[in-house]
Amino acid sequence: MSFFGLDCVKKKERELERKLRANDREYNLSFKYATNAIKTSKYNPFTFLPLNLFEQFQRIANAYFMFLLVLQVIPQISSLSWFTTVVPLVLVLTVTAAKDATDDINRHRSDNQVNNRKVQVLIDRKLRSEKWMDVQVGDIIKLENNQFVTADLLLLSSSEPLNLVYIETAELDGETNLKVRQALTVTGDLGEDIEKLADFDGEVRCEPPNNRLDRFRGTLTYAGQKYSLDNEKILLRGCTLRNTEWCFGLVLFGGPETKLMQNCGKSTFKRTSIDRLMNVLVLCIFGFLAFMCTILAIGNCFWELNEGSQFMVFLPRQDGNDAAFSAFLTFWSYVIILNTVVPISLYVSVEIIRLGNSFYIDWDRRMYYSRNDTPAEARTTTLNEELGQIKYVFSDKTGTLTQNIMTFNKCSINGKSYGDVYDYTGQRLEITQHTERVDFSFNPLADPRFIFHDHALVEAVKLENPEVHAFFRLLALCHTVMAEEKKEGELFYQAQSPDEGALVTAARNFGFVFRSRTPDSVSIVEMGQQRSYELLAILDFNNVRKRMSVIVRSPEGKLSLFCKGADTIIYERLHLSCSKLMDVTTEHLNEFAGEGLRTLVLAYKDLDEEYFNQWKQRHHEASTLLDDRESKLDELYEEIEKDLLLLGASAIEDKLQDGVPQTIEQLSKADIKIWVLTGDKQETAENIGYSCNLLREEMNGVFIISGNSPEDVRQELRNAQTSMKPGEDSVFFPESTLGKGVKVMADEAVNGEYGLVINGHSLAYALESSMELEFLRTACMCKSVICCRVTPLQKAQVVELVKKYKRVVTLAIGDGANDVSMIKAAHIGVGISGQEGMQAVLSSDYSFAQFRFLQRLLLVHGRWSYLRMCKFLRYFFYKNFTFTFVHFWFAFFCGFSAQTVYDEWFITLYNLVYTALPVLGMSLFDQDVNDVWSFQHPQLYVPGQLNLYFSKKAFFKCALHSCYSSLVLFFIPYAAMHDTVRGDGKDVADYQSFALLTQTCLLFAVTIQLVLEMSYWTAVNTFFVLGSLAMYFAVTFTMYSDGMFLTLPSAFPFIGTARNSLNQPNIWLTIVLTSILCVLPVVTYRFLFIQLCPTINDKVMFKVRQAKATLPPPPRRTRIRRTSSRRSGYAFSHAQGYGDLVTSGHYLQRPALYRSSGLTHTGRTTTGFSPMGRSAGYSPTGRPQNPKVPDVEGTSLQMYRTIKEPSL
């Protein structure tokens, strides 16, 4: 199957139009369309080794070590044995290859699993079960209920009336509501008849493969007729068939050409910014290395000319080498010796540290979600430290911020509000898991999962309060939900939107059970009695109407119109007699909206039989009109939906996941910007934005960009910029200079906090290359950004845009297939696991079950990983530079002959054994402050975003520091030793003793430096540090022992050196002196720094020390508050921030939107930008002692909560 994959990669010419004929494989094969096999894996068994090695050697470091290896086998140059390079290199390559192989095997598995799914295909006039990967373009396949759609299909026929099918598109766009597709009548007539279907020879011409989910254009030619095809007749791969027994479809696009796969984006090898920085640094180091070697080579040349030529009596040159050639050889010899500036063990260690920190993420119990037994998982082990540098978080909404569960939470019926729980003193209680629930056992058809706490409502129902009954009757009748009753009494609702489902479920539990529907009737069980209502008309919802009505005839013959819709809309159509009720309900509505609930207003009206008949007549006429049908119908709807009687209002909670507002608050304290990219509608998205603290009441403004043309959008963006930075001219960018050169856009200061909401249409314009900078600039000036109605690809584009112009690290988090492209595009992709679709998780780098774990991932794990990695790198470069520079100084004393300062064994083992474990220990265990304090001080995260711990500057400092250390480490022993003898007069100034002395000094110096770096001493660290020193002496004494020498005299020439020199006091006095001198400036610098300009870390650590005397702060746990009414940010902000709002000037700047006059208010403008101030939906939760009296009279428009518009 990989061959097919390759085929489509190789295809050069772009397809301009797709032509295919049903049931004609031969014809279709001539176009070489991709089959339905998908391939996400990279290698196969044969290509693995070469491809993987090729990839690995693209890493500069690996190539460099290969090169070193070549140098080392040339005898004239070789200044070190070849195995010093081979062992680590092979180790690195193997480990990486093994990891890549397992990753790829997993991808193969998932590919295989998908490719081997079975589907029924019509072949040779018979239905046969075939594997997905064998399905070809032009085949007719049969799908059954709850099956995944195999490929992009043209719907031919279905089991349902009118050739309808219902599909769920969650995998594609994240929306879980059902959508409807309808086949052409001409194909629908084929029905289930295999013979007819086999004879079907329609020809399709359509657009080439593309990634637009919402558009399709093509024509079907069948029996001489041409039919036009649009998106409504297409089933896309990734959808699931629901409520439809079977359907037949014609495959249009297969495998990699399906819209789902085209939307997946390219999977690229992700690297962290530290990786990139390291590559740059390694290049610099190479330059520096070449520089050092050149100096030494020139030195060698001069030395050979001046002294070497005279020394030739004792040391003849190798045949015919003159000084210049000797210098040339010396250059390469020094390349080998000084290669330790870029040691390969650096890369091994980096991988180990990342792996270790990934395990910590896997092991973290606080990121484990017990409800569905899902631990967090680090699926990529190479990106950890980047988690500590995130500046932008791109989040999906549905399933990520929200649970995608709507619950009926509160309602207001006839001026009485239900849903809150009060204790006997009248205090409102916070609803927790332990609050007593309403018992619905009186109703055998109740949904057991439905939870309600206010007993008053159930009492009202039982007392047969007519308004309450009417309220629930309306909910049971006025909707478009489908009911499925597989077993008697076990009802399942299929709703187009979750909120509708919630409302119908609520009615069901309160005794008004919607049981089934036919096209012209709705049967409900009303308090145990089966009743069937004749359904006379559905005045359906749309975006302009923002309401929905049904006209029904009750079994008694009474005609009624039931209507539910957005408050502003319904209020305009109420009968004057309700004005008093309206005021009370408005109060309740404000209260509900203030708590972040989605509200609907319910109203009804009894109809006159005669009037209705006449209206019906006109309606029929209008609906058959050819032109102007829409507006005529609208007029008719307007006409009948008036003088309504208000029943009350419902409040639905779009349940946020636990701890979302707190998480967002924490992240924004850590200076992380959060953008929500959602496929949802603007209102929904905005509402969630408020309830999860993204948009806040005290923001200076929220800009809505919803222009319908590029000019509008540009203008709106400019207006937004001007109001954020009033001082500046409206011409922000001299656009000519923006040109091609990719620039980095700096962050700009603005005069306050702003939010931005942009919808999909405008976003499409804003992402065009001419406007993207304008958009980015505006968006980045805002504190939070919400993009709604965006396609998966746009999500990726937004992420790419930020990546392109901002030098920042981005993270994308999502749960569905529609987030895959964004997850792949961002530096870090996080998948929410434990849900049904696994696409997001599979392409993510990290996955966990709840959005709130993000704060732990970033603020704790990310921060620590970054800190550890930076400490590691700084220390590692320090220790290796110091190690290497000593060679450099020695060169001036040994005639630039590429003699090493240290014993060869020491060189081999220095990085692998003597210093490996202590620094690994530090980078696996170190923490400046523990997790509790990390949460308490999210500001600790900021240095990571600013790259403070490891940058070119930090690196340069390291290099300077090691330069100093190496000077100390070479010249102190030199001066102390060069003219000294042992206490018994024997030699101690010999080369071997000097080597031993310097390497011991070096080891002590770097160990003490590590001790200074380490801020978290566990027993393991202590063991590693002391153990490594002990190891050094043990190994040294062993290597220098008689036995080793006598076995291999030429490999262990240092025999006896340790015994003969380490027993000398002056040796130890030298070691002590070098240690003191190496440590002195470091301690001085750090101490002074802490005193003069302490960093945030110093401050927090200081606090920790102070707090140790007292008790540590209690861990801030995100409490599980499932039905808490105080969850929403809207309510929160009022609890404390209201006074500020009134006294600050902002309150006055904003247009005061009064809605007590409600009827005249037109709502938010949907075109053009409006600096929207949401003011003053006072929540009584802030002041429990006075629960129900709003003390702010002017209340603004609430979000109108609407049911979802049907289909895409």
Among 1050, 1143, 1162, 1185, binds another protein (CB under 8 A): 1050
Binding-site string for another protein from residue 40 to residue 79, where x marks contact by CB under 8 A and - marks none: ---------------------------------------x
181: CB partners within 8 A, 6+ apart: 155, 164, 165, 166, 167, 232, 233, 234, 235
**Annotated binding residue 1165:** no
Query: What's the min distance (Å) between Cβ of 68 and another protein?
Result: 18
Closest CA to 343 of 694, 103, 80: 80
Q: Does 992 bind another protein (CB under 8 A)?
A: yes
Q: What is the DSSP string of 1098-1123?
A: HHHHHHHHHHHHSPPPPP------SS
Among 185, 1084, 1136, 1149, binds another protein (CB under 8 A): 1084
Question: Which CB atom, from 398 or from 1074, has the smaller least distance to another protein?
Answer: 1074
**Annotated binding residue 795:** yes
Q: Are 273 and 809 in contact (CB under 8 A)?
A: yes
* Helix (H), strand (E), coil (C) string for 313-351: HCCCCCCCCCHHHHHHHHHHHHHHHHHHHCCHHHHHHHH
Q: Does 985 bind another protein (CB under 8 A)?
A: yes
In a 13 Å sphere around the CA of 764, the CA atoms on its Cβ side amount to: 10
Q: Does 1090 bind another protein (CB under 8 A)?
A: yes
How far is the C-alpha of 955 from the C-alpha of 534, rounded, in Å? 79
Q: Does 1076 bind another protein (CB under 8 A)?
A: yes
Binding-site string for another protein from residue 78 to residue 117, where x marks contact by CB under 8 A and - marks none: -x--------------------------------------
| Positions in 296-325 near another protein (CB under 8 A) | 307, 310-311, 313-316
Closest CA to 169 of 240, 121, 96: 240
Binding-site string for another protein from residue 1021 to residue 1040, where x marks contact by CB under 8 A and - marks none: x-------------------
Question: Which CB atom, from 700 or from 1070, has the smaller least distance to another protein?
Answer: 1070
| Phi/psi of residue 1126, nearest 5 degrees | -95, 10
Q: Could you report how far apart the first and last alpha carbons of the chain are, in Å?
A: 34
How far is the C-alpha of 831 from the C-alpha of 829, rounded, in Å? 7
Among 977, 1002, 1131, 1172, binds another protein (CB under 8 A): 977
Query: What's the min distance (Å) between Cβ of 84 and another protein?
Result: 16
**Annotated binding residue 598:** yes
Q: Does 328 bind another protein (CB under 8 A)?
A: no
Stretch that binds another protein, among 654-662, 700-708, 974-982, 1182-1190 (CB under 8 A): 974-982
SS3 (DSSP) at 1041:
coil
Binding-site string for another protein from residue 886 to residue 905, where x marks contact by CB under 8 A and - marks none: -------xxx-xxx------
| Positions in 122-151 near another protein (CB under 8 A) | none
Stretch that binds another protein, among 390-398, 709-717, 727-735, 1081-1089 (CB under 8 A): 1081-1089
Stretch that binds another protein, among 154-162, 455-463, 632-640, 1085-1093 (CB under 8 A): 1085-1093
Closest CA to 921 of 875, 861, 856, 882: 875
**Annotated binding residue 815:** yes
**Annotated binding residue 362:** no
| Phi/psi of residue 757, nearest 5 degrees | -125, 130
DSSP state of 700: S
Question: Which CB atom, from 685 or from 976, has the smaller least distance to another protein?
Answer: 976
Question: Which CB atom, from 372 or from 709, has the smaller least distance to another protein?
Answer: 372
**Annotated binding residue 678:** yes
Q: Are 914 and 1031 in contact (CB under 8 A)?
A: yes
Question: Which CB atom, from 864 or from 1130, has the smaller least distance to another protein?
Answer: 864
**Annotated binding residue 462:** no
Tell me which amino acid residue 698 is.
E
DSSP state of 407: E
Which tokens belong to 1070?
A: 């030298």
Among 425, 1105, 1110, 1111, binds another protein (CB under 8 A): 1105
Per the rule left: phi > 0, alpha: psi between -120 and 50, beta: everything else, 715 is: alpha
Total site size for another protein, rule CB under 8 A? 100
**Annotated binding residue 124:** no
Do strands 118-123 and 234-235 pair parallel, antiparallel, or not at all (unpaired)?
unpaired
**Annotated binding residue 911:** no
| Positions in 816-845 near another protein (CB under 8 A) | none
**Annotated binding residue 789:** yes
Catalytic residue among 396, 567, 712, 926: 396
Query: What's the min distance (Å) between Cβ of 343 and another protein?
Result: 21
Query: What's the min distance (Å) between Cβ of 550 and another protein?
Result: 44
Question: Which CB atom, from 54 or from 991, has the smaller least distance to another protein?
Answer: 991
Q: Does 375 bind another protein (CB under 8 A)?
A: yes
Helix 952-977, helix 863-891: angle, nearest 10: 40
Among 518, 529, 1091, 1157, binds another protein (CB under 8 A): 1091
Q: Does 556 bind another protein (CB under 8 A)?
A: no
Q: Does 368 bind another protein (CB under 8 A)?
A: yes
199 classed as catalytic? no
| Positions in 913-942 near another protein (CB under 8 A) | 925, 927, 930-931, 939
H or E stretch at 362: helix 344-363
Query: What's the min distance (Å) between Cβ of 335 and another protein?
Result: 14
Q: Does 360 bind another protein (CB under 8 A)?
A: yes
How far is the C-alpha of 80 from the C-alpha of 43, rounded, in Å? 37
Query: What's the min distance (Å) between Cβ of 260 and another protein?
Result: 29
Closest CA to 644 of 531, 564, 703, 727: 564
Binding-site string for another protein from residue 859 to residue 888, where x marks contact by CB under 8 A and - marks none: -----x------------------------
**Annotated binding residue 807:** no
**Annotated binding residue 616:** no
How far is the C-alpha of 754 from the C-alpha of 748, rounded, in Å? 13
Exposure string for 1061-1087, b = 16+ CB within 10 A, e = fewer? bbebebbeebbeebbebbbeebeeeee
How far is the C-alpha of 783 from the C-alpha of 724, rounded, in Å? 11
Q: Does 1204 bind another protein (CB under 8 A)?
A: no
**Annotated binding residue 485:** no
CA dihedral (515, 517, 521, 525) in degrees, to 10, reads: 0
Q: Does 1059 bind another protein (CB under 8 A)?
A: yes
> Environment class of residue 837 by beta-carbon count within 10 Å: exposed (0-12), middle (13-18) or buried (19+)?
buried
Stretch that binds another protein, among 183-191, 236-244, 415-423, 1070-1078 (CB under 8 A): 1070-1078
What beta strand segments (E) does 607-739 contain?
645-656, 673-677, 701-705
Q: Count of CB atoms within 10 A of residue 267's CB?
A: 12
Question: Which CB atom, from 219 or from 321, has the smaller least distance to another protein?
Answer: 321
Closest CA to 568 of 1154, 1147, 1152: 1154
Question: Which CB atom, from 263 or from 384, has the smaller least distance to another protein?
Answer: 384
Task: Quickly tell me which residue has 């056992």 as its tokens.
Answer: 441
Among 1080, 1120, 1135, 1142, binds another protein (CB under 8 A): 1080
Stretch that binds another protein, among 190-198, 698-706, 879-887, 977-985 (CB under 8 A): 977-985
Helix 344-363, helix 863-891: angle, nearest 10: 160
SS3 (DSSP) at 832:
strand
How far is the C-alpha of 541 from the C-alpha of 1206, rounded, in Å? 8
Among 161, 984, 1111, 1148, binds another protein (CB under 8 A): 984
CA Rg value for the chain:
37
> Environment class of residue 174 by beta-carbon count within 10 Å: exposed (0-12), middle (13-18) or buried (19+)?
buried
Query: What's the min distance (Å) between Cβ of 931 and another protein?
Result: 7
Task: Mark the binding-site residues for Mg(2+), compressed into ranges.
Answer: 396, 398, 815, 819
User: Which residues are the active-site residues?
Assistant: 396
Task: Mark the binding-site residues for ATP, compressed into ranges.
Answer: 396-398, 500, 541, 564, 598, 678-680, 789, 795, 818-819
